[in-house]
Amino acid sequence: MPELPDVEGFRKVLVSCARGRVVREVDVRDAGVLHGVSARRLRQALEGRRFTEPERHGKWLLARTGGPTLVLHFGMTGRLVCARPDDDYEVHDRVLFTVGAARQLRYRDQRKLQGSGSPKTNRPSSGCWDARGPTRWPWTARGSRPCSPTAGAA
């Protein structure tokens, strides 16, 4: 799976750009990449939270905050970029996370088939995560129970 080294690289970008920093603003430039969460709810869940140690689980990148976990999937064209908030936007910058005064984590994808989302809670719940990854998108969708990955899921 050629994406696995890429996801590990994106984990390192997240560590160097955002770990330990507070999410000051979430700018959803294209809500089409969000799954099971609205732009408003994603902002409410993450703004004011501090990114902690991220974790890679297969093709998934888990951006923990000590509360909700941002779950990212990149497919073949997605990536994370660390930029300055005043840098020009790329046409494929889908979600921007301003962290601190001088850094912005950008979820960039030329296709909209993958995406990101956030669960309501970081508490484990069964039936949503197995050894291969999520059995359904691991955040709260309309009409479903909260579902989040468990730490150390194998």
**What pTM value is reported for the model?**
0.75
Let me know: does 29 contact 95? Beta carbons within 8 Å: yes
Query: Per-residue pLDDT tens for 19-76?
Result: 999 999 999 999 988 888 899 999 999 999 999 999 988 888 999 998 889 989 888 8
Could you tell me the pLDDT band of residue 132, with boundaries at 50, 70 and 90?
low
- Of 144, 141, 146, 142, nearest to 120 (Cα)? 146
Q: How far apart are CA 66 and CA 78, in angstroms?
A: 25
How many structural domains is the chain composed of? Answer: 1
Query: Per-residue pLDDT tens for 94-121?
Result: 999 999 889 999 999 887 644 455 444 4
Q: How far apart are CA 120 and CA 59, in angstroms?
A: 22
Domain with 42 in it: 3-119
**Encoding tokens for residue 128?**
């949503």
Average pLDDT value for the chain: 78
Q: How far apart are CA 99 and CA 22, in angstroms?
A: 5
Asked, for residue 19, whether it belongs to a domain, the answer is yes
Asked, for residue 153, whether it belongs to a domain, the answer is no
